[in-house]
Amino acid sequence: MNGIHLLLLITTAMASCDNVSGQILTSQLIQSAVGAQPNENVIVSPISIETCLALAYLGAEGQTAEELAISLALKHAGDKQSVAQKFGRLFEKTKSVGSATFRLANRIYLDQRFQISTKYNELALNQMHANAETVRFADAAATAATINSWVEAETDNKIRGLIAGNSLDGNTALVLVNALYFKAKWLHQFSNHSTTKRDFHVSAERKLEVDMMKQTDTFLYGNFKELDATAVELSYLDTDVSMLVLLPKSVDGLAALETKLKSVDLTKLSAAMRTEEVNIHLPKFKFEFDLALKPVLAQLGVTTMFSDKADFSSMLAEKEKVSVSQAQHKAFIEVNESGTEAAAATYLKIVPLSATFAQQTYQFVADHPFVFAIKDNKNVYFVGHVTHL
């Protein structure tokens, strides 16, 4: 399936929950993820990213908090307690019913040098079920393995190796992690023997032969003239989550569609669709996608938390100033005759400011003769000087 680019969105009616899926972030994600790799398959989980950002928001103050609030569309969400409750309500979806599983999990990994503040702990733990686990980030490889195993367990091994051992070090203060897992069978399954090799047009000039699934049944169908696209919504069994597939009318229409989707709330599109009989051809697919979030968030104006002005003063019990040094997302999807399995994980790495941003930068330019020593705190093993090269 290399080179095939599909736009697939798993939307949820969220009948019982508030709509926390900020449309702002979702559309920026589509733009950024797609813009970064125009010919790649893309999957990201807005909810996973938002939940992780919300966890950071609960410990943020000032401009840092304000920017996060805007990106998360929290303007009218009230105080932190209400924001935590709002995200906490997502856990109502966390369940296994029949063949459908929806799992959402948060966790805080905290270096043994630090303690989180009582207030932050209350919000994170009571509302967002984010347990704080103490680790030793100096044992980078072991700690990365601990975090990765937790993510693997939460995602049924679909998100593996989220954090590379070398992205942690003794300087790390906290890592905030979200994991999301979804698996469900189609309400109307595709029959295995109807799947045949068919052309998939990568562009007007280029096509690939793929495993195309087929079925005819009643589905929500929409013809969106303003988007120059048609859409179907495929329901899953035992859940109100469904998959919306938006198909540009022209082979080369994806980029134009994605631009238009910037101003569309995907959760609202189904309301404009009608139940019709539809003959669906949908390729089977399976892939994963990695996304560095810093540039995406910068597009949304979330920059302070990455800077020396970051204010997470309500997160830790200590007075230590910290900022976010890394924000990473990874997602997986498999779609076949039986249904869908999808998983995602997001993490924010938080480090002390003192270590990230020196007050002053000293210059050391060894462009003339110098002395060197190879030593430890007891012995000098080698010493010498360099006068010419």
User: Least distance (Å) from ligand NAG to the CB of residue 247?
Assistant: 22
Tokens representing 243 are 């998959």
Residue 258 or 341: the one with the smaller Cβ distance to ligand NAG is 341
Q: Which residues contact 116 (CB under 8 A, 6 or more apart)?
A: 59, 108, 110, 124, 132, 174, 315, 316, 317
Single out the residue of 114, 123, 223 nearest to residue 175, CA to CA: 114
Residue 111 or 341: the one with the smaller Cβ distance to ligand NAG is 341
Does 267 engage in binding with ligand NAG (CB under 6 A)?
A: no
Stretch that binds ligand NAG, among 167-175, 188-196, 217-225, 300-308 (CB under 6 A): 188-196
Residue 40 or 156: the one with the smaller Cβ distance to ligand NAG is 156
Does 101 engage in binding with ligand NAG (CB under 6 A)?
A: no
CB 249 within 8 A of CB 260: no
User: Least distance (Å) from ligand NAG to the CB of residue 356?
Assistant: 41
Q: What gap in Å lies between CA 52 and CA 60, rounded to an integer? A: 13
State the number of CA atoms in the 13 A half-sphere of 385 facing the CB.
5
Single out the residue of 28, 25, 23 nearest to residue 265, CA to CA: 23
Single out the residue of 146, 139, 145, 135 nearest to residue 113, CA to CA: 135
User: Least distance (Å) from ligand NAG to the CB of residue 192?
Assistant: 4
Residue 174 or 342: the one with the smaller Cβ distance to ligand NAG is 342
Does 192 engage in binding with ligand NAG (CB under 6 A)?
A: yes
Does 191 engage in binding with ligand NAG (CB under 6 A)?
A: yes
The residue whose two tokens read 């013809």 is 223
Interaction mask 322-351, ligand NAG, x per CB under 6 A: ------------x-xxx--x----------
User: Least distance (Å) from ligand NAG to the CB of residue 234?
Assistant: 14
Type of residue found at 335? V
Tokens representing 285 are 């697919």
Residue nearest to ligand NAG (CB): 341
Does 31 engage in binding with ligand NAG (CB under 6 A)?
A: no
Q: Which residues contact 134 (CB under 8 A, 6 or more apart)?
A: 110, 111, 112
Q: Which residues bind ligand NAG (CB under 6 A)?
A: 183, 189, 191-192, 334, 336-338, 341
